[in-house]
Amino acid sequence: MSDRELSFWGWGHADRFPDDEERRELKTRLEGMLGFPERPLLDPPTIDAVSIPDSRVRVPDRLSGFVSTATEDRVRHTYGKAYRDLVRGFHGDFDAAPDAVAEPADEAEIAALLDWATEERVAVVPYGGGTSVVGGVECDPDGDGSGYAGVVSLDVRALDAVLEVDPHSRSARIQAGATGPEIRDQLAEHGLQLRHYPQSYEFSTLGGWIATRAGGHFATVYTRIDDFVENVRMVTPAGTVETRRLPGSGAGPDPDKLVLGSEGAFGVITEAWMEVQPRPPYRARASVHFGDFEAAVDATREIAQARLYPANCRLLDRNEAMLNEVAMDGSHVLVLGFESTDHPVEDGLARAIAIAEDHGGDLPAEPSYEGPHLEDSDDAGEDGGAGDDRGGSEGDWRSAFFEAPYQFNTLVSLGVIVDTFETAVTWDGFPALHEAVTERVTAAMDEQCGTGFLACRFTHVYEDGPAPYYTLLAPADPGRELEQWRPIKAAASDAIEEHGGTITHHHAVGRVHRDWYEKETPAEYREALRAAKEAFDPAGVMNPGALLD
Amino acid sequence: MSDRELSFWGWGHADRFPDDEERRELKTRLEGMLGFPERPLLDPPTIDAVSIPDSRVRVPDRLSGFVSTATEDRVRHTYGKAYRDLVRGFHGDFDAAPDAVAEPADEAEIAALLDWATEERVAVVPYGGGTSVVGGVECDPDGDGSGYAGVVSLDVRALDAVLEVDPHSRSARIQAGATGPEIRDQLAEHGLQLRHYPQSYEFSTLGGWIATRAGGHFATVYTRIDDFVENVRMVTPAGTVETRRLPGSGAGPDPDKLVLGSEGAFGVITEAWMEVQPRPPYRARASVHFGDFEAAVDATREIAQARLYPANCRLLDRNEAMLNEVAMDGSHVLVLGFESTDHPVEDGLARAIAIAEDHGGDLPAEPSYEGPHLEDSDDAGEDGGAGDDRGGSEGDWRSAFFEAPYQFNTLVSLGVIVDTFETAVTWDGFPALHEAVTERVTAAMDEQCGTGFLACRFTHVYEDGPAPYYTLLAPADPGRELEQWRPIKAAASDAIEEHGGTITHHHAVGRVHRDWYEKETPAEYREALRAAKEAFDPAGVMNPGALLD
């Protein structure tokens, strides 16, 4: 882990919180560009001023070497990084702090903790980067303990090593607590990369990605972490489970797929063999601008269905393009990127551009290319992965992408509701879903906040449908933010659910999406999952309330 | 279903069984080419001579419209198409016949049957094409009923319709009892194809493919039926389960992935939304010959890791090439094929060939190309899918591929043990696994049969490892075939299990692989599966003995 101090209430490093001057600039932009009413400039909280309830657990001596009940540890493990977490944190509300924080050094300590938790009926919430936006690392949503003797947050970040590399099979065995940069740095010694860059990349961990089926860098084929997993190892109250490391198998329902998305409800993921690859020296990128959103969607669909397998194929609607300063002229922007470790990719990009142009797309700038086959290649060499796509709109987009969560801190401090939600739906179903989401979320923002702003992009595309991702902004009344936010979130989730989308393509279910997850999945399937949970976790101590009721 | 009569004991259409002349030719070839001792020419059985035990179940009136206890129906649903099934069938041994055969016309009849079976504790074995090679549709392996009042084979082939097509999202809703050709013909009306061609394509069904995670046409990306499934519908004793139709989701563990590979142990799959596509007019194909197997494996690995995404990338070792008459000069042959609905694919093939040549591969013939962009394209237009790849070695290979199961009938009638088994393993692990399989299976054939023949091919390749597929031939003592076969099968399975492979990449577990499946998977995972099964099937009537003990 980095030595730089992390924010105890918001995203990322504490020293990144902007000064008042910067905040005033953003405030002016919101007022001018979005027509928001004048915003207050609220002071962020200090950790010394935070008070939390007394811990309800007595940590036995055999665990006290790695389990802490210190206030600061407990405060720092209270929330994830959802809007509602930042709001609660910003207002200094840490009443839901866990009773203790465990930082085990190895699987034996995890198993010892689970044994104790099972005996004492203490809930255990696995914690990786703490970047959940769905209440996945939240300890006690109702504040009443729900029949548990207490709650322990189990922080696995000490398990941060790349343990083994098999370059021949392009795979690596990685511990679950390793963050994006920790994986990057250790694999770089072998000339390899995982190439999984969720927006939380800097802080989130492999175990968290697997537990939540995190979406990453690739818009096609390798869309979620699922597609890189060869096996998993998980410590459960019933024992330690390790699936066989395999490139593929047809032996029964895929055991890895039961762990992927289990959100800590079965056990604690401790390591996994993952597919890795060298840095791809061949790149080709372009951005295509569209005046018409429907035409842009059609172009994107056709590119996805052409099986050109672009690494990037991200359609930003005009609001999203503006928000990220990728295009300020009202264009919808399709960001295309191809990459290969093996061969030039100009042809794939050319074909994708041709399809886009057939649908009325314009190329405001020449495509950019990198590769050892190009005489004046602008390839800057090894740069370690995330942030290594710098060309044109794609570069702007990418830096905005990793910057966005920091903006959320600032927006919260300005009393702005800022939230994102995402789904996946068939191409056929998208227009009606998009219309319903737009209408109902806009109406909810208007009703709650007087005004609001909604932007949409496709983060991933499949042959049978896109994964649309929405960002909303609305001016809140400080102190009433969550009261105003809740109906907006419900409007978005209802619109998605009623129009055939999934409540989440990659953010996970957690506690926030559970009601809609129940509408999306057959009751008999959830019963089967619950039965499976009971086999792994007979006492029901693993992350109760996440995923399953 | 076709009106042509199916063999009651062996593969496919009954009228395809060769005359004595043809059989003598194959016999001579075995004796000459493989050095097998002289083979007898045994007469195939007649259905009239078969006797089976009395049915143990009394079918209630409300089910009698679609449940039969007629001898012929019961005989025809006794076995799958594994070697051991053909042997037992050939010798007229149908003692394990089910007590009744249900042929429901719709889900309501399936649900009524499951209700009755649950009340009466009658085992229900879902039956699609009946092409299982792992004892997946076998009714009662021990002949003692294992505590059940009887066994019903549930044949779903009447549910054979394509119900709905969404061309915009390139998807179709298809009933589970539809066979490969039935799906092909119905989708052809919409200009679409599923492009899933397992070796059993002519007879096997969508439901069977999903229940067993069948491998198909594509060597990369879309390797198994799993990759085409958007949702599934399954009638279980606990109720009818339908997952949401989605291009992708991250909401909890993927519910479709729990059904995929469930082998009828949870319920009866009745329909699924599947990804489909137009026929790809662009093709490029070539075969590369290698003198050295290790070099051929390295080339194949590098092509897989280059993410060129070939549709075909099938490496045949020299024995496999000879067996299929693709190359008789002792070459190992890499069959490469690229296809696209959208764009020419010559460049991908050229790059794959270049990689192969770097590893010492030779091109005995020019690559062949098809496509609307070629002036003298030899594209023969719509031909409906399976069997539409006709060029060069790939064409030879493909016709041999669909012909092979018929050869099995003949070989069984000549007293030859003929079996196939398959796995997947990392590239790093392959050499040791291959060596162990070769040594131990050869030794077992020598010990049991005096001699034997073993061939290997890769059916699918991943960036992290191949899926090797083995075919074995050995001369048996008629009447002692299964006694001789069992140690050979055990040698193969042990070698795979002990060298990090999976007991099956796409044939499924069934009853034949169960012991090794138990070694491959964590006990806690199987407990979780068992608990899930109990949620769907509280009385345990669904396909008992398949997959789970």
Contact A248 B467 (CB under 8 A): yes
How far, in Å, CA of A237 to CA of A110, rounded? 10
Which segments in chain B show pLDDT lower than 70? 1-3, 140-146, 376-397
CATH number at A280-381+389-507: 3.40.462.40
Task: Say yes or no: B309 contacts chain A, CB-CB below 8 A.
Answer: yes
The H or E element containing residue B118 is: helix B107-120
Q: Are A212 and A508 in contact, with CB atoms under 8 Å apart? A: yes
Q: Are A261 and A297 in contact (CB under 8 A)?
A: no
Q: Give me A270's structure tokens.
A: 């401790």
Give the containing element (helix H, strand E) for A469. Answer: strand A465-475
Region B282-370: CATH code: 3.30.70.3450
For residue A25, what are the contacts with CB-CB under 8 A and spacing of at least 6? Answer: none
Chain B residue numbers with beta carbons less than 8 Å from the beta carbon of A340 are 306-307
Q: What is the 3-state secondary structure (H, E, C) of B420-463?
A: EEECCCCCCCHHHHHHHHHHHHHHHHHHHHCCCEEEEEEEEEEC
pLDDT of residue B171: 98
pLDDT tens-place string over residues A186-245: 999 999 999 999 999 999 999 999 999 999 999 999 999 999 999 999 999 999 999 999
Rounded Cα gap, residues B545 and B135, in angstroms: 10
The predicted structure's pLDDT at residue B381: 40
DSSP secondary structure of A320-382:
HHHHTTS-SSS-EEEEEEEEESSS--HHHHHHHHHHHHHTT-B-SS--EEE-TTSTT------
Q: How far is B450 from chain A (nearest CA, A)?
A: 32
Query: CB–CB of A253 and B249 under 8 A?
Result: no
**Count of CB atoms situated within 10 Å of the CB of A115:** 13
B520/A253 CB distance under 8 A:
no
**B342 interface with A at CB cutoff 8 Å:** yes
Give yes or no for B255 touching A (CB within 8 A). Answer: yes
How far is the alpha carbon of B17 from chain A, nearest alpha carbon, in Å?
Answer: 31
Fold (topology level) of A162-275: 3.30.465
Shortest CA gap A528–chain B (Å) = 4
pLDDT tier, A146 (very low <50, low <70, confident <90, very high otherwise): low
pLDDT at A1: 45
ipTM above 0.90, yes or no: yes
B354 to chain A, any CB pair closer than 8 A? The answer is no
| Residue scoring higher pLDDT (B407 or A380) | B407
Distance CA B136, CA B239 (A): 23
Model confidence pLDDT, tens digit, residues A66-105:
999 999 999 999 999 999 999 999 999 999 999 999 999 9
Select the residue of A213, A351, A536 nearest B524 (Cβ to Cβ).
Answer: A536
- Those of residues 223-252 in B touching chain A at CB distance below 8 A are 223-224, 226, 230, 236, 238-239, 241-252
CA dihedral B243, B245, B250, B256 (to 10 degrees): 40
Model confidence pLDDT, tens digit, residues A314-341: 999 999 999 888 999 999 999 999 999 9
Q: Do A275 and B464 touch (CB under 8 A)?
A: yes
Spell out the SS3 assignment of B359-385: CCCECCCCCEEECCCCCCCCCCCCCCC
pLDDT tens column, B37-89: 998 899 999 999 999 999 999 999 999 999 999 999 999 999 999 999 999 99
Domain ranges of chain A: 162-275, 280-381+389-507
To the nearest 10 degrees (0 to 180), the angle between helices B293-305 and B430-449 is: 140
Q: How many Å apart are CA B127 and CA B80, to the nearest integer?
A: 9
Q: Which residue type does B344 have?
A: P
Chain B residues 433-492 with a CB less than 8 Å from chain A: 460, 462-467
Q: Does any CB of chain B come closer than 8 Å to the CB of residue A275?
A: yes
pTM of model > 0.90? yes
Interface of B with A in 390-429 (CB under 8 A): 424-429
Pick the residue from chain B with its C-alpha nearest to A260: B253
Q: What is the mean pLDDT of chain A?
A: 94
Longest Cα–Cα distance in chain A: 70
